[in-house]
């Protein structure tokens, strides 16, 4: 004989245990998501920093190139005075004009590259902010999960102790059978009878099963194997 009340209590405790365990498992997953977010933003920031480095190098190269070309133009100018022929003078003049034209293009490119650098600097600052925000969020999540975990673990221990107490009241021969299914299925080891149907699989129960349930005999659903009980409100 096992009372419906005892079975219902067992079911309630199993449901509580599963819920507490799933909440305990959710914590590390939430932390992992926040960690991933920090990682993603950090990678984006490193990429922006790399881009900035490359842009600065390229800009520095152009500026060096410009200084070299300007020096060459100066050099050509000093040579103008020493020209032996008009033709040589003209050739030098043309070369100087061409070089100055090229330098002017280079100057524009340098200005453009400096604008680009300003934008990337801005991007790096934004990425920095995102990393900081994500790190703060991660810290919050870690604290929250740690606090919750303590509470949930305390609650779980309490409910598990309650389960043992109730299980200890089960008749010995039935207890082994119950433990086998409880260990394998947890909260899905028991189900209430709903009308004349199994609450686990919705299979109709035969009159003999209904009769045995009324007599407080342990009845397992022939279809899904759950231990059935008549819930209090029925
Ligand atoms: Zn069933």
Per-residue pLDDT of the chain (234 residues; tens, 9 = 90+): 899 999 999 999 999 999 999 999 999 999 999 999 999 999 999 999 999 999 999 999 999 999 999 999 999 999 998 888 999 999 999 999 999 999 999 999 999 999 999 999 999 999 999 999 999 999 999 999 999 999 999 999 999 999 999 999 999 889 999 999 999 999 999 999 999 999 999 999 999 999 999 999 999 999 999 999 999 874
Cβ pair 137, 37 in contact under 8 A? yes
How far, in Å, is the centroid of ligand 1 from the Cα of 190? Answer: 9
Structural domain includes residue 1: no
Provide the residue range defining the domain that includes 225. 171-229
* pLDDT for 139: 98
- Which of 152, 169, 186 corresponds to the end of one domain? 169
Structural domain includes residue 165: yes
Three-class DSSP category at 219: strand
Residues 163 and 180 in one domain: no
How far, in Å, is the centroid of ligand 1 from the Cα of 201? Answer: 4
How far, in Å, is the centroid of ligand 1 from the Cα of 229? Answer: 11
Residues 73 and 176 in one domain: no
How far, in Å, is the centroid of ligand 1 from the Cα of 62? Answer: 79
- Which of 142, 169, 196 corresponds to the end of one domain? 169
How far, in Å, is the centroid of ligand 1 from the Cα of 216? Answer: 18
Structural domain includes residue 57: yes
Q: Phi and psi dihedrals of 194, rounded to 5? A: -115, 105
Residues 123 and 182 in one domain: no
Tell me how many domains the chain contains.
2
How far, in Å, is the centroid of ligand 1 from the Cα of 193? Answer: 9
Residues 39 and 98 in one domain: yes
Residues 182 and 128 in one domain: no
Cβ pair 1, 171 in contact under 8 A? yes
Residues 175 and 162 in one domain: no
How far, in Å, is the centroid of ligand 1 from the Cα of 12? Answer: 18
The span from the CA of 232 to the CA of 234, in Å, is: 6
How far, in Å, is the centroid of ligand 1 from the Cα of 203? Answer: 6
Residues 38 and 111 in one domain: yes
CATH number at residue 91: 1.10.287.1490
Residues 139 and 182 in one domain: no
Q: Would you state the torsion angle of the CA atoms of residues 141, 147, 153, 158, taken in this order, to the nearest 10 degrees?
A: -140
* pLDDT for 81: 86
How far, in Å, is the centroid of ligand 1 from the Cα of 2? Answer: 19
Q: Would you state the torsion angle of the CA atoms of residues 122, 123, 129, 131, taken in this order, to the nearest 10 degrees?
A: -150
How far, in Å, is the centroid of ligand 1 from the Cα of 225? Answer: 6
* pLDDT for 84: 87
How far, in Å, is the centroid of ligand 1 from the Cα of 196? Answer: 11
- Which of 130, 145, 169 corresponds to the end of one domain? 169
* pLDDT for 233: 72
How far, in Å, is the centroid of ligand 1 from the Cα of 219? Answer: 11
Residues 84 and 189 in one domain: no
Residues 133 and 39 in one domain: yes
* pLDDT for 1: 85
* pLDDT for 158: 98
Residues 219 and 144 in one domain: no
How far, in Å, is the centroid of ligand 1 from the Cα of 181? Answer: 14
How far, in Å, is the centroid of ligand 1 from the Cα of 224? Answer: 4
Specify the pairing of strand 219-220 against strand 197-198. Answer: unpaired
Residues 144 and 106 in one domain: yes
Running DSSP on this structure, what letter comes out for residue 186? G
């Amino acid at each position: 004989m096992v009372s419906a009340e005892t079975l219902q209590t067992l079911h309630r405790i199993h449901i509580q245990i599963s819920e507490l365990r799933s909440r305990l498992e959710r914590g590390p997953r939430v932390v992992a998501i926040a960690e991933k977010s920090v990682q993603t933003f950090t990678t984006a920031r490193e990429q922006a920093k790399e881009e900035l480095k490359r842009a600065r190098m390229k800009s520095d190269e152009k500026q060096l190139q410009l200084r070299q070309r300007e020096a060459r133009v100066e050099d050509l100018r000093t040579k103008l005075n020493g020209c032996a022929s008009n033709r040589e003078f003209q050739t030098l003049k043309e070369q100087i004009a061409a070089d100055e034209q090229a330098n002017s293009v280079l100057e524009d490119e340098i200005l453009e590259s400096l604008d680009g650098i300003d934008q990337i600097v801005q991007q790096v600052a934004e990425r920095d902010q995102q990393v900081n925000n994500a790190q703060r969020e991660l810290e919050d999540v870690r604290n929250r999960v740690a606090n919750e975990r303590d509470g949930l673990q305390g609650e779980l221990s309490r409910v598990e102790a309650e389960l043992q107490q109730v299980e200890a009241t089960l008749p010995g021969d039935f207890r082994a059978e119950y433990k086998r299914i409880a260990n394998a299925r947890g909260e899905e080891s028991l189900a209430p009878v709903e009308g004349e149907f199994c609450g686990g699989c919705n299979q109709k129960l035969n009159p003999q099963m209904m009769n045995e349930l009324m007599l407080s005999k342990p009845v397992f659903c022939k279809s899904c194997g759950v231990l059935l009980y008549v819930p209090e409100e029925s």
